[in-house]
Structure 1
Amino acid sequence: MNTPVVDWYSDEISTFGDRVAGAREALGMSQDDLSKRLGVKLKTIRAWENDLAEPRSNKLVALAGLLNVSITWLLNSEGDGINGPDEQPPLSPDVNDLLTEIRDLKSQIAQTGDRLGRVEKRLRTTLKSEQ
């Protein structure tokens, strides 16, 4: 007997919060770990996973990078994401370590980009006031 193929993270079955939680859990990351890496409060992660709030675009980019999924997959389950829970192949500790390092680097890059934007805005404001 053939069992139907279930796309655990399809837009019809899962929500944004389900996909965030699923991707986070697939990486073995706690909500607290994710909040620290993104630089947001734990209650913010909980709100996202419970579909009570959604991240702003800059945090969405960093979130997708940390979870190693595409932004479009997080938003509407299209693009690069994760497989359902019974379809995930186990990863070796070495691969997990490398993925963690990549996620950390992506997060640092996103935070640096945010900082650069703030400094640029201050510079523009200062230049206008000096004219």
Structure 2
Amino acid sequence: MAESGMQETRALDNWFAPDVATFGDRLAGAREAAGLTQEELATRLGVRLTTLQAWEDDLAEPRGNRLQMLAGMLNVSLAWLLTAEGDGVDGPDAPPAHSPAAEEALAELVRLRAQVAGLAQELLSVEKRLRAVLRQEA
């Protein structure tokens, strides 16, 4: 459990690190930090909205000239966009701490959700068996 907490702290300290975030994550984070919508950035770059969305979803990568334009428009270094090294944006602030009662309630909710998912799978299995029996009887 202590290791998990340390990993969370490292992730919060370097939100866009290469082992935590992809190029698309860094692009979306820099765009949001610049206060731009996807539509606005796509228009400024002279690309289709679907092209920018594909970059942010890591389904495609921009060419070199567009990368340089992105870095300039978003006020981050080209190296940061590609590797998370250099000048970039900070991640979001750490979420506020919750009271022990709230944490306990959240844990119980997660446990109950897992139970419901298990019951749903069990119901599906019984339904399949019943359908098979009904087909055989018909």
Please give the TM-score of this superposition, normalised by the length of structure 1. Answer: 0.62
User: Which residue of structure 2 lines up, in the alignment, with residue 128 of structure 1?
Assistant: none
Q: Distance in 1 between matches of 2:37 and 2:31?
A: 7
> For 1:7-18, what aligned pairs fall within 5 Å after superposition?
7-18=14-25
User: Which residue of structure 2 lines up, in the alignment, with residue 129 of structure 1?
Assistant: none
Identity %: 57
User: Which residue of structure 1 lines up, in the alignment, with residue 45 of structure 2?
Assistant: 38
User: Which residue of structure 2 lines up, in the alignment, with residue 84 of structure 1?
Assistant: 91
Aligned amino acid, residue 22 of structure 2: T
User: Which residue of structure 2 lines up, in the alignment, with residue 57 of structure 1?
Assistant: 64
Looking at CA atoms only, which structure, 1 or 2, has the larger radius of gyration?
Answer: 2
Aligned amino acid, residue 52 of structure 1: L
The match for 1:69 among 71, 76, 79 is: 76
Q: Distance in 2 between matches of 1:35 and 1:64?
A: 14
The match for 2:35 among 16, 24, 28 is: 28
What RMSD, in angstroms, separates the aligned Cα atoms of the two structures?
1.5
Q: Distance in 2 between matches of 1:42 and 1:12?
A: 27
Q: Distance in 2 between matches of 1:12 and 1:63?
A: 22
Q: Distance in 1 between matches of 2:70 and 2:46?
A: 11
Tell me by how many angstroms 1:57 deviates. Answer: 0.3
Aligned amino acid, residue 18 of structure 2: D
Q: What is the CA deviation profile of residues 32-60 of structure 1, one whole-angstrom value per residue up to 9, with x for unaligned ones?
A: 00001001100010000000001000000
Tell me by how many angstroms 1:27 deviates. Answer: 1.4
Tell me by how many angstroms 1:83 deviates. Answer: 0.5
For structure 1, the residue ranges without an aligned partner over 5 or more in a row are: 88-131
Which is richer in helix? Answer: 2
Q: Aligned pairs, how many?
A: 86
Q: 2:48 aligned with 1:47, yes or no?
A: no
